[in-house]
Structure 1
Amino acid sequence: MWHHVHYQHHATTTGETARESSCLCKAAKRIARGTAPSTASNRDRFSADCNVELGACAGARMATGRSTLADSLREVYQFSVVDYCMFGLMLLLSAACGIYFGFFKRSTGSDDTGTPESSSSSDDESGHRRPSTGSDDTGTPESSSSSDDESGHRRPSVAPAGKKVTSTFGSSTMDEYLLGSRKLKAFPVAMSLVAGYISGVTILGTPAEIYNFGTQYWLIVVPILLMGYAVCTVYLPVFCSLKLNSSYEYLELRFSTHVRSIASVMFVLDELLFLPMIIYVPALAFNQVTGFNLYVIGAIVCVVCIFYTLLGGIKAVVFTDAWQVVVMFISVVVVVIIGTVAIGGPDVVWDRSVEGGRIDFFNLNPSMYERQTFWAVLIGGFFYWTSFNSVNQTMVQRYMSLPNLKKAKLSIAMFTVGMGVFVSVCCYAGLLLYAKYYECDPASVGLVTTDDQLFPHYVMESVGKLKGIPGLFIAGVFGAALSSLSVVLNSTSAVLLEDILKGMFRVNPTPFVANIFVRGSVVVLGVAAMGCLFIIEKLGGILSVASSLSAIAAGTTCGIFTLGMLIPWSNTQGALFGGVSGALLSGWVSLGSQFAGASGELVPHKLPVSVDGCIEDLLTNVTIVHPVYPDESGVFPLYRLSYHWITPIGVLTVLIVGTIVSFITGPRDLRNIDPELISPVIHRFLPQESFGNYGTASKNLAAGVVIFSEEMQPQNSVPTANGVGLPYGNEISMMKHLLLRARTCQSSYNRHVGYPQRNVSFRRGC
């Protein structure tokens, strides 16, 4: 018989505790050997045997004053010396990476304020080396640094190479610290992308989601693959062409400083909310298997992560992530393989999952209120994954650490496949959990207190007797946390410098001050994460909470970028009104649903579980209660939406409101827009005249010219050929720049008039 159950503990006397402790200790040992009785007669005999349990076990239980089976299991499955060595080795290797890249692997850099490339040559799209010409396309002498675009034409570097600035510790320059001098390799970056995206939320939350709600979420692999294609075709070419330090600089080039500031502040707030969640998950797992205090473990994670991120920068982050993801994958795969063999093979896992109603890949229910449906996972999953991986600074910063577009696409392809495989393994682990506990739900009998403790509990129960395996698993979970935390610390410090300090407050610090500011930001953010750790304990399931909070910023920000790249006539007013509307609506829905859940108005409808196979002694301290789900008809409809729909709401609100407001306030003149700021998929729809402005925005920014969007031009400015307003005093130098540029591009323009606008040679060269 299947039941929805939860547990309720009752107080016991000292004598009862002694007897109960003895039974619990024996039950723990039976579970350890996999011999817990399943039939009624065996359970009765096992209950009678409790009276003759070893006195030592009962005495130990009375001495500790604990009487839960979780504590008994923890005593049976204690971390061995080998397990602690595995865990400690992971922490030591992480710290060693920071020391290595901070002090022993330092490359010569360029001026911190620029975007340096190779001093003599750079890679073209095919990876071949081309010699530097020593000048840009205007004929104005620059540094010897230059870069190749995907067509092989030369682009001037964003800033001339300058004197190397050596810091007192760590990387030589800010460019090396934040971007690795744009010389990193595709495979390590791809592994870093996987490791950065896989936090403990994925490792612990995904199996619990499958265990409680079935396999519909497994379909998320399809949106992941579609996301990779969308990022490579729509967003990545724009960022690789502009070669910016921060993704949010694009918003100033396309719209205005105000839009850039709003998006960057939203990013910082989003990461601050996510930081404690990153720490809480591995601390929870470690607490489950060792009994260590959550806050002590959280502090250890933060200190180690701050240390190697502070010293090594993006290089330490990327290469530490690369080997950490290997540890993550091996740890989960080893547990899954051992568990599958122990339970009788994949056939047993599948049969029990089918019997328990866990297999459901095509729930075509059109209701947006149901947690997991085919449409919610496919549509909502695509929007969420694309929003985060297309424009978020944590991802774009590592895209920009690669030398060219080809390497970036290759890295994203490997990242997409890797994520699909890893998520699939975690989903299968959820089925394995159910096959193990299909007759005795651990949460119902008090073995775990939250769903996110299911997988760690399973690891200790299934492979706890194998020395080193629990330590490997915990090392994998902590590796996931360290990789995610280090990426957030590094990218958020970059946003605080480039977008907040320089962009919003217009402060241009010296290289030394910038160095101290960035590293100080890493420390402050890490300490703030520790301080906010208690917040996550007030929330429910990790997976939905993480998606809901991140969806507010991710959906809105992606909507603004998409508006700029795919809607060429959109203007600053449209971006501002659309962004604010998207943030308010998605935030209203997300936070409203969280508050409704906390108040008990909304209760997740989990699939049924059973306790029929539990030994009686596990039920002596538990009351089985059939939950009564509240009537949700009185809850505001938007609060009842599945968390999958929050990101689509944010993105679509920005696009719809932004487009309408742009038309009302006056759309951009497409003849004056810079096509470099528009996604290549839209280039065919742009007027031919606009390609005469290609690259003007980034060149003006590199020249130190203050850029205003067309609709934000001040009164005392003169319009230029590309619709950019320049303050009086700058127009003469800009006119010279345009004349020199026009002289170079005129013959190319004449040759290409009438050709398809997708002609790369003309666009890139001029």
Structure 2
Amino acid sequence: MEAEGGGFGTVDFAVLGVTLFLSLAIGIYYAISDRSDNSTENYYFGNHTLSPWPVGLSVSVSFISAITVIALPGEVYMYGTVMLWTAFAFTIPVIFVCCYYVPLFYRLNLKSIYEYLELRFNTTLRRLTSALTVFTFVIYTGITIYLPALVITAVTPLKLNWSIALTSLICTLYTTVGGIKAVVWTDVVQAVLILIGIVALQVKSLMVVGGWGNVFAALEKGHRMNFFSFDPDPTIRATTFSVVIGMTVFTCGVQCTSQALAQRYLSCKTLKQARQSMIIGSITNAVLVTICGLNGCIMFAYYKDCDPVLSKKIHKIDEIMPYMVMDVFSNMPGMSGVFVSTIYSGTLSTVSSGINSLANVILEDFYKPKRPNLSQKSYLLASKLFAFTLGIIMTATAYVVPFLGTTVVQIVVSAFGLFLGPVLATFTMGIFIPWTNSKGAIIGALVGSAVACWVCIGGLVYAPYHDIKQILPRNISGCVSNTFNATEGLTTPFIDHAMMPTAIPTSRLSLTTTLYSVSYMYHAMIGFVVALFTGVAASFMTGHNIASQADPQLFLPLIDNKFLPEKVRKFFRLGVPEIQPRKFYIPENCPLEEKINLNQNGTENIE
């Protein structure tokens, strides 16, 4: 892939080099400054001294990766403005996080959020959900490593394999040596770079296409003004319903049950600051996602007469954004470097979050229970070894991505959908449904995961033809000219729908045309619903818990406010006793067995 206007110059390489150097420098700085503190509490939580603003920015860019910067505009380009609802779907979950999950995890003083599942159910379920989460995030971070490597390969002589290795090495090194402080403060720098990069691209590309009026005209003519698409058919890839409902469940799973995010807000000094950090992160997230989506709209106006994929200038849609960047900024030295740095920043923030949080999950949920009496220095050394090993595994995963025949966004959402929905259902049963027992929760998680895997893998293998059929029309009639004219380009006719690739015709219903064709945005929701209903049903079949005997410390009513009538509050407690003020505190290094005893009787005071 080579842009028509120019290549990656010396200034661009310098800008990218500075970005990568800053990331490494921050990691090395915190490794040196904290060398006297060998505790895992400092390595994973910064001794709970971080402020809400840096934590909030870190939260926002933890999941604003290269996937958002590159792949989301490609989805808008292919399927229209309905994808702009993604920003809304990213915002809603913060309500649940701030109202329920942050207070609960703060109350229990958790190091791993999956520790809650042992307090509520048993050790087996804790380790099962931890393992599912580790597997899911390894796939996700592997994909995020692949995208910037693809960009570097496109604009430099460096081969894809070496690009992947370089990306992984830098991120793994600064995360391993610096811990959570390095991750958070590097994320702050990267958040600024991401904002500069995507705004710069939007301003410059708007100048080229002639403003928003021309963009909207091109979208209308290209059948992409489908922001309000209320077709209830679940097999349509992108509708208002699939994006708002399906993606909201998806992001609920990411934000409510993610160790990466929990580790950040648990690093704040107080519960109030933790909530503030999530709100700051949510607002910043929505702004960045919206800008990236609008860049996809502009990108369609830019290539409305000459689609780079159909004209074989690039191989797949995930390459279109870097291709446009090289074209738009061809006469502005350094700007291509800024945008490539933006892509790298998004990836480094996401991968560092994944490595740091997953290392903590492995330490707390698998390693410490087997070796409970080691020193803090030994645990810290083990943590760094886990982080480095995870970096290697994620690198290996990135090498597999080029062989998957669909868009990166679909791969990511489908991969998360494998287990994210069932894990969210498990926490939902534990927190809000007091009758759920451990057998029901395990059965629900397993059945939900099995169904989600079936649907996701079937969709990736058998349904690509269905997705191809839904791609909106694209045009190559203007490819004779290598220049773009903002005033003349809008009159060029679009190719007819009949010229688009079509699905293999079928005369009867089958799994390929029904279940496997369900939009990938619903995959997480399918896993969630199946796991939830199966878990509750299995609990009643195997002898459900008695609500009046439930530990109120581990339960949260959906609605509870001291200004509501007592009858209303009692109804939403579902029979669980009202929580009593503690006459004790749980120290930071309290063993899990003592936490369980404290939560059950509430009388012991540990000094």
TM-score over 0.5 for the alignment?
Answer: yes
Give yes or no for the alignment of 1:519 onto 2:384. Answer: yes
Secondary structure at the aligned position of 1:634 is classed as coil
Q: Which residue of 2 aligns with 1:609?
A: 474
The Cα shift of 1:631 comes to: 2.6
**Alpha carbons 1:103, 1:171 under 8 Å: kept:** no
Aligned equivalents of 1:654 and 1:696: distance in 2? Answer: 37
The Cα shift of 1:276 comes to: 1.8
Secondary structure at the aligned position of 2:312 is classed as coil
How do residues 403-482 of structure 1 correspond to structure 2 at under 5 angstroms?
A: 403-482=269-348
Q: Which residue of 2 aligns with 1:55?
A: none
The Cα shift of 1:222 comes to: 2.2
**Alpha carbons 2:38, 2:376 under 8 Å: kept:** no
The Cα shift of 1:394 comes to: 1.1
Q: Deviation per CA, 1:313-358, whole angstroms, max 9, x where unpaired?
A: 0000000001101101110110110110121111111111111111
Aligned residue identity for 1:297: S
Identity of aligned residues (%): 28
Q: Which residue of 1 aligns with 2:357?
A: 491
**Alpha carbons 1:565, 1:679 under 8 Å: kept:** yes
The Cα shift of 1:573 comes to: 1.1
**Alpha carbons 1:102, 1:171 under 8 Å: kept:** no
Aligned match of 1:634 in 510, 521, 533?
Answer: 510
Give yes or no for the alignment of 1:81 onto 2:10. Answer: yes
Aligned residue identity for 1:520: L
1:682 and 1:502, CA in 2 relative to 1: closer, same or farther beyond 3 A? farther
Aligned residue identity for 1:374: T
**Alpha carbons 1:392, 1:554 under 8 Å: kept:** no
Q: Highest CA radius of gyration, 1 or 2?
A: 1
Aligned residue identity for 1:650: G
Aligned equivalents of 2:574 and 2:261: distance in 1? Answer: 32
Aligned match of 2:73 in 191, 207, 214?
Answer: 207
Aligned residue identity for 1:634: S
Aligned match of 1:672 in 546, 549, 563?
Answer: 549
Normalising to structure 2: TM-score of the pair? 0.90
Aligned residue identity for 1:655: L
Aligned residue identity for 1:89: V
Aligned equivalents of 1:602 and 1:543: distance in 2? Answer: 13
Aligned match of 1:565 in 431, 437, 442?
Answer: 431
Q: Which residue of 1 aligns with 2:185?
A: 319
Aligned match of 2:31 in 93, 102, 109?
Answer: 102
- Unpaired runs of 5+ residues, structure 2, are 484-497, 561-568
Q: Which residue of 1 aligns with 2:444?
A: 578
How do residues 674-713 of structure 1 correspond to structure 2 at under 5 angstroms?
A: 674-681=551-558, 684=569, 685-686=572-573, 690-691=577-578, 699=586, 704=591, 706=593
Aligned equivalents of 1:285 and 1:697: distance in 2? Answer: 55
**Alpha carbons 2:439, 2:538 under 8 Å: kept:** yes
Aligned equivalents of 2:187 and 2:372: distance in 1? Answer: 33
The Cα shift of 1:510 comes to: 2.4
**Alpha carbons 1:559, 1:655 under 8 Å: kept:** yes
Aligned equivalents of 1:315 and 1:443: distance in 2? Answer: 42
Q: Deviation per CA, 1:203-239, whole angstroms, max 9, x where unpaired?
A: 1111100000001111122222221112111222111
Secondary structure at the aligned position of 1:448 is classed as coil
Aligned equivalents of 1:399 and 1:739: distance in 2? Answer: 28
Q: Which residue of 2 aligns with 1:649?
A: 526
Give yes or no for the alignment of 1:663 onto 2:540. Answer: yes
Give yes or no for the alignment of 1:357 onto 2:223. Answer: yes
Aligned residue identity for 1:240: Y
**Alpha carbons 1:235, 1:679 under 8 Å: kept:** no
The Cα shift of 1:603 comes to: 3.5
1:708 and 1:640, CA in 2 relative to 1: closer, same or farther beyond 3 A? farther
Moved more, 174-183 or 700-709: 700-709
Aligned equivalents of 1:706 and 1:326: distance in 2? Answer: 43
Q: Which residue of 1 aligns with 2:493?
A: none
Aligned equivalents of 2:127 and 2:357: distance in 1? Answer: 16
1:302 and 1:697, CA in 2 relative to 1: closer, same or farther beyond 3 A? farther
Give yes or no for the alignment of 1:280 onto 2:146. Answer: yes
Q: Which residue of 1 aligns with 2:20?
A: 91
Aligned residue identity for 1:673: A
RCO comparison, higher one (Cα < 8 Å, 6+) = 2
Aligned residue identity for 2:342: G
1:740 and 1:657, CA in 2 relative to 1: closer, same or farther beyond 3 A? same
Aligned residue identity for 1:88: G
Moved more, 658-667 or 250-259: 658-667
**Alpha carbons 2:39, 2:377 under 8 Å: kept:** no
Secondary structure at the aligned position of 1:292 is classed as coil
Aligned equivalents of 1:86 and 1:703: distance in 2? Answer: 47
Secondary structure at the aligned position of 2:178 is classed as helix
Q: Deviation per CA, 1:292-313, whole angstroms, max 9, x where unpaired?
A: 2111111111111112111110
Aligned equivalents of 1:397 and 1:695: distance in 2? Answer: 25
Aligned residue identity for 1:325: A
Aligned equivalents of 1:395 and 1:467: distance in 2? Answer: 37
Aligned equivalents of 2:481 and 2:365: distance in 1? Answer: 61
Q: Which residue of 2 aligns with 1:266?
A: 132
**Alpha carbons 1:363, 1:374 under 8 Å: kept:** yes
**Alpha carbons 2:469, 2:502 under 8 Å: kept:** no
Q: Deviation per CA, 1:430-450, whole angstroms, max 9, x where unpaired?
A: 111110111111111111111
Aligned equivalents of 1:595 and 1:688: distance in 2? Answer: 46
Q: CA RMSD in A?
A: 2.5
**Alpha carbons 2:71, 2:408 under 8 Å: kept:** yes
Aligned equivalents of 2:188 and 2:482: distance in 1? Answer: 46
Moved more, 535-544 or 268-277: 268-277
Aligned equivalents of 1:578 and 1:83: distance in 2? Answer: 51
Aligned residue identity for 1:611: I
How do residues 295-310 of structure 1 correspond to structure 2 at under 5 angstroms?
A: 295-310=161-176
1:596 and 1:235, CA in 2 relative to 1: closer, same or farther beyond 3 A? same
Aligned equivalents of 2:501 and 2:390: distance in 1? Answer: 41
Secondary structure at the aligned position of 1:401 is classed as coil
Aligned equivalents of 2:76 and 2:500: distance in 1? Answer: 22
Aligned equivalents of 1:647 and 1:617: distance in 2? Answer: 43
Aligned equivalents of 2:598 and 2:28: distance in 1? Answer: 50
**Alpha carbons 1:672, 1:693 under 8 Å: kept:** no
Aligned residue identity for 2:6: Y
Moved more, 540-549 or 670-679: 670-679
Aligned residue identity for 1:533: A
Aligned match of 2:396 in 531, 539, 548?
Answer: 531
Q: Which residue of 2 aligns with 1:219?
A: 85
Aligned equivalents of 2:346 and 2:265: distance in 1? Answer: 20
Aligned equivalents of 1:266 and 1:602: distance in 2? Answer: 28
1:572 and 1:456, CA in 2 relative to 1: closer, same or farther beyond 3 A? same
Secondary structure at the aligned position of 1:706 is classed as helix
Q: Deviation per CA, 1:454-506, whole angstroms, max 9, x where unpaired?
A: 01111111112100100000000001111111101100100010011124x46
The Cα shift of 1:275 comes to: 2.5
Aligned equivalents of 1:440 and 1:676: distance in 2? Answer: 60
1:670 and 1:99, CA in 2 relative to 1: closer, same or farther beyond 3 A? same
Aligned equivalents of 1:77 and 1:593: distance in 2? Answer: 39
Q: Which residue of 2 aligns with 1:378?
A: 244
Secondary structure at the aligned position of 1:690 is classed as coil
**Alpha carbons 1:590, 1:643 under 8 Å: kept:** yes
Q: Which residue of 2 aligns with 1:341?
A: 207
Q: Which residue of 1 aligns with 2:566?
A: none
Q: Deviation per CA, 1:576-601, whole angstroms, max 9, x where unpaired?
A: 11111111111111111111146x57
Secondary structure at the aligned position of 1:181 is classed as helix
The Cα shift of 1:278 comes to: 1.3
